[in-house]
Structure 1
Amino acid sequence: MNKWFKQLGLAAALLFSTVSFAAETPAPAAQPEAVVAAVQAQQSEYSQLWTELKNGATGYTTSQSQFHNQPINSYDLRVLELRSGWLAPGLMLALFGMIIIFALFIMVNGISKLHHGFSGKMVHRWSKLDISIHWLGAIPCLTLILTGLTLLAGRFFLQPVVSEGFWAGVVYFAKQVHNVMAIPFMFGWLLMTLMWAKNQMPKMYDLKWFLVVGGYINFGPFKGKHPDSGFANAGEKMWFWTFALFGLVISASGMLLLFPNLFEPSRTLSLISLILHAVSAIIICAFSIVHIFMATVMSEGGMECMVSGYCDENWATQHHNLWFDEIKANGTLKYRES
């Protein structure tokens, strides 16, 4: 074995012998200085050994597993405390907090209705390929949020009310589903980012959209304000680029965690990846709740876009007037046949 393992073993044996001897035989009163010197020398040796281990001293074993020759894993334990003490509650707050906020907002404000009702004329907006890509990313994303919440913070809201056996089964199931759904999520994220970026570029009129909160406020000076918007409004653009950026972080960190034998990251890099993964999950979770509420509840007629690929003409003119004017002008306006 390596000299450090030998020294560690000898130190342990010496400590055991010293304690046993001290318990059975009274120390001679005439030699206190010798005993103190011996203890100090032993402590100095331990301190030197610990320092060298922390600095990366390696040992030798017959194992061929990853990091088999690294006796200890040294990192700042505050990183683990950050994950369990802050990031886990943060993910819960991002999910449940945003749901509560939107529910209260809708109770007070109401939804954004079409001022002229439904026209019955359906305008083509998304292709079947676009719809497929959207759900390829959306369904795994929701599944990953729920399973990730269970793995990261389930001990706060689920473990206390179920048996240990049931909790172990839930964690195992969540982990397996999380690993499997990660791959289609990454494909969906990549395709959406590459194919949709051209329609998500910021424009000057996006600033006005933010100033009037997109026209979704039904009271005060904001009521009835519907700012100009192209194919995507400013809120959708903000969601898209947030998803693109943090989707990249969550995908890259996820690959390191999912395939450690392939990438062989260091333990420190693995820990950093775990933290970045959780932070990105919190941000994507919060924005996903906003996106879901805006598409399904807040905007009357909005959900139809990602179901059939068509939107009502009045919805198009109210929420995306510049895009509707553009497709009329360039001859690409297409109505759904009855």
Structure 2
Amino acid sequence: MNKLFKHLGVAFALLFSAVCFANGGEQAVAQASDAQMWAQLKDGAVGYTASKSEFHGQAINTYDLRVLDLRADWLAPALMAALFGMIAIFIVFIKINGISKLHHGFSGKMVYRWSKADVAIHWLGAIPCLLLILTGLVLLAGRFFIQPYLGEGVWAGLVNGAKQVHDVLAIPFMIGWLLMTVLWAKNQMPKMYDIKWFMVVGGYINFGPFKGKHPDAGFANAGEKLWFWAFAIFGLVISVSGMLLLFPNLFEPSRNLSLLALILHGVSAIIICAFSIVHIFMATAMSEGGMECMVSGYCDENWATQHHNLWFDEIKANGTLKYKE
């Protein structure tokens, strides 16, 4: 009986070893097969499918993975830096430098500068732009910088709301961008005196050799012109790429074009975001009396002579100077 159990034990051990060896071999073969399959897929190998869609025969697209890494590693942090980094820089700058005050105070005489239509166009572009930046921040960088601090339900509601607002406000932004670009370009052409404006930082520095320097400027100064053309160029890129992403069934872009649009959309958003923060601070906190221009369309006479002297001299000379009654 003992011999029988001994022989059965040996037989079981041999059988178990054989099964393990077979399974190990099959697993090794399967792993090798999987590695070969993924290598072929990454090289663009396709299979058979009954679907007629352009990309259904390709199991994976390696460009997708590269774009995801690019968005996560570069675009998301860059958009955060463009928004919060520029705000922090301006707060520190104003703390050290102070604002640009009117040397002779407010005159109380308000000069006509923008029409009511111009003011409306400005806000048509500005309000959607700000909301698109904030919602775009949630969509692009939220899962890295916001989601970890929220519950899943709150995050789901936030990102869904951001997506809806982003899509709805895209069209008003594009209309505002188009009207501003077409109607305002004539006053934004570079001039030789713009170089001097940059050399003395527009007269906004209150210390050192730059203090008290107020360079010549026409209707728009050099800084405003730089902002305008950045907004015009990258606004075009963000509008075109946004339309491709917003209406894929209408334009039917290729997969690679869609990925390119996604990248260009993010890069343009980062640039517009950074310029927008500069523009907002310069028009509000930095320039005493500057915000009034885009509220009523009028500016104080002393503000006009200090910041846009060539334009003020021009309207006095040609008889188009008009004061608020």
- For 1:306-325, list aligned pairs within 5 A: 306-325=294-313
Match of 2:49 among 50, 60, 63: 60
Q: SS at the partner of 1:302?
A: coil
Asked if residue 331 in structure 1 is aligned to residue 293 in structure 2, the reply is: no
> Could you tell me how far apart the structure 2 residues matched to 1:285 and 1:155 are?
19
Match of 1:117 in 2: 105
Q: TM-score, normalization: structure 1?
A: 0.84
SS in 2 for 1:71: coil
1:162 aligns with 2:150: yes
How far 1:267 sits from its partner (Å)? 1.7
Q: 1:24 to 1:124 in 2, by over 3 A?
A: same
The whole-number CA distance in structure 1 between the counterparts of 2:145 and 2:194 is 40
Is the aligned partner of 1:208 residue 2:196?
yes
- CA 1:48–1:152 in structure 2 vs 1: closer, same or farther (change >3 Å)? closer
SS in 1 for 2:61: coil
Letter in 1 for 2:141: A
Query: Closer, same or farther in 2 for the Cα pair 1:267/1:310, shift >3 Å?
Result: same
Give matches, 1:180-195, under 5 Å.
Answer: 180-195=168-183
d(CA) in 2 for partners of 1:104, 1:75: 41
Q: 2-side partners of 1:46 and 1:164: how far apart?
A: 35
**Shift in CA distance, 46/212, structure 1 to aligned 2, threshold 3 Å:** closer
Q: CA deviation at 1:68?
A: 3.8
In structure 2, list runs of 5 or more residues that go unmatched. Answer: 1-16
Letter in 1 for 2:68: L
Equivalences for 1:83-162 in 2 at 5 Å? 83-162=71-150
The structural deviation recorded for 1:246 is 0.6
TM-score if structure 2 supplies the norm length? 0.88
In the alignment, the residues of structure 1 paired with residue 77 and residue 147 of structure 2 have an alpha-carbon distance, to the nearest angstrom, of 15
Superposed displacement of residue 54, structure 1: 4.0
Counterparts in 2 of 1:90 and 1:195: CA distance versus 1, 3 Å: same
Measure the CA separation in 2 of the matches of 1:156 and 1:76. 19
> Partner of 2:239: helix, strand, or coil?
helix
1:24 equivalent to 2:19? Answer yes
Q: CA-to-partner distance for each residue in 1:10-49, whole Å, 9 max, x for gaps?
A: xxxxxxxxxxxx983756xxxxxxx99x969x96898489
1:197 match: 185
Provide the C-alpha distance between the structure 1 equivalents of 2:220 and 2:101, rounded to a whole number of angstroms: 19
- Which of 71, 79, 82 is equivalent to 2:70? 82
Counterpart in 1 of 2:250?
262
Alignment of 1:212-227 (within 5 A): 212-227=200-215
What is aligned with 2:216?
228
Whole-angstrom distance in 2 between the partners of 1:214 and 1:83 = 36
Q: How many residues align?
A: 307
Question: Partner of 2:99: helix, strand, or coil?
Answer: coil
Report the Cα distance in structure 2 between the residues aligned to 1:314 and 1:124, rounded to whole angstroms: 13
Alpha-carbon distance between aligned partners in 2 of 1:66 and 1:295, rounded to the nearest angstrom:
49
Is residue 126–residue 306 contact of structure 1 (8 Å, CA) maintained in 2?
Answer: yes
In structure 2, distance between residues paired with 1:59 and 1:260: 25
Contact 1:94–1:283 (CA under 8 A) maintained in structure 2: yes
Alignment partners' CA distance in 2, 1:89 and 1:112 = 32
Do the aligned residues in 2 keep the contact of 1:54 with 1:72 (CA within 8 Å)?
Answer: no
- Aligned in 2, Cα 1:71/1:331: closer, same or farther, shift over 3 Å? same
Give the corresponding residue for 1:289. 277
CA-CA distance at 1:56 after TM superposition: 6.0
Matched-pair contact (CA < 8 Å) for 1:124–1:335: yes
| Secondary structure at 2:63 match in 1 | coil
Closer, same or farther: CA 263–226 of 1 in aligned 2, 3 Å: same
Structure 1 unmatched runs, 5+: 1-21, 28-34
- For 1:77-133, what per-residue CA distance to the aligned partner results, in whole angstroms no more than 9, with x for missing partners? 333211101110110000000001000100111100000010111000000111111
Aligned counterpart in structure 2 of residue 241 of structure 1, from 193, 212, 229: 229
**Aligned-partner residue type, residue 182 of structure 2:** L
Change (3 A) 1:71 1:308: same
